[in-house]
Amino acid sequence: MRDKFTITIHDVNGVKQYTLKQIVKKYFLYFVGFLLFFIVSSSLIIYFLVREVSRLTEKKEELTELTLRLTKEKIALKKSIEQQTSQLQQLTQKVKNIEEMIGLKPEEKTDINQRLEKLTLTSGQIYYLFKNIPNGSPLKTTVVTSRFGYRKHPVNGKRDFHPGVDLRAKWGTPVYATARGLVEYAGKKGNYGKLIIIQHNYGFKTLYGHLSRIKVKTGDYVEKGQLIGYSGSTGLINGPHLHYEVRYLQRPLNPVNFIKWKLENYRQIFEKERHVKWESLIKGITANLQLILEAQQSSVKAQQ
């Protein structure tokens, strides 16, 4: 009888007994255990699914807000780009108009070789040219560490236009004027730090930035090769060097072309810097030399 068990049921009709095998009891217990396991497992799964749905709902709301914000920023950026493009087009047109008025725009229809043939200079004109228009380097030793044009700024990491060149120079390296002229500005100026601006003849201008010391004052007249200051690391800079710019009627030009401009290759600048209408400039130099010659002759006659 060990493999059997008895179930007794009492009710109004009396007592009833049922004899069942032990294996039925086992199956019943297994079924109850399985049912409990199923209920607990289902409850856990439902709990985790509810949590996941809640998390995904929050994520969806965050992404929706981000999408709306990015859409607004995109619309604002598009409007800003359109405004900047419009302003750039207007500015470009104004520059073109000014170039045409002052004769700065090169004659594109004329062959460059034909134009260069007109620019054969006398020794006096060349001497005057190299005294009054920036040429050579502002440093004794010249190594370019950052070139002219668009670049990634070494300090703020933004892509911007570099209107000059950076020249390697230790703190306190002497800096010299690259042409004669008047000091337009000498002092501190924003990201340039300590800055010298020299206004030269015929619309040229040079800028010397990040200086440690300035040896000239606003309004001073300087000669080519004159000491004007010392290099440093003032302003927005990641290390000592000299920032050097050459401008013509406020237009930044590539200073490397002027640094490499030498007597033996003086004609190369006419081809490399086509924004300058050199024919008109040479006419101005010729007229100035004629005036100087006439003044000297008048002085000699007066002394006689």
Q: What is the mean pLDDT of residues 202-211?
A: 96
The span from the CA of 209 to the CA of 194, in Å, is 6
pLDDT given at position 113: 53
Greater pLDDT, 127 or 29: 127
pLDDT given at position 155: 78
pLDDT given at position 143: 95
Q: 81: how many CB neighbours lie within 10 A of its CB?
A: 10
pLDDT given at position 223: 97
The CA-atom distances, in angstroms, between 300 and each of 108, 295, 303, 304 are 46, 9, 5, 6
Greater pLDDT, 209 or 104: 209
Tell me, what DSSP letter sits at residue 202? Answer: G
The span from the CA of 135 to the CA of 263, in Å, is 10
| pLDDT at residue 271 tops 90 | no
What CATH superfamily classification does 112-295 receive?
A: Glucose Permease (Domain IIA) (2.70.70.10)
Greater pLDDT, 271 or 169: 169
Domain boundaries, the chain: 1-102, 112-295
Tokens of 202: 């015929």
pLDDT given at position 39: 87
Using an 8 Å Cβ cutoff, are 167 and 176 in contact? Answer: no
pLDDT tens digits for range 2-33 = 566 566 666 666 666 666 666 666 777 777 78
| pLDDT at residue 103 tops 60 | no
pTM of the predicted protein model = 0.62
pLDDT tens digits for range 133-190 = 999 999 999 999 999 988 887 777 778 899 999 999 999 999 999 999 999 999 999 9
pLDDT given at position 104: 47
Residue with tokens 């570099």: 162
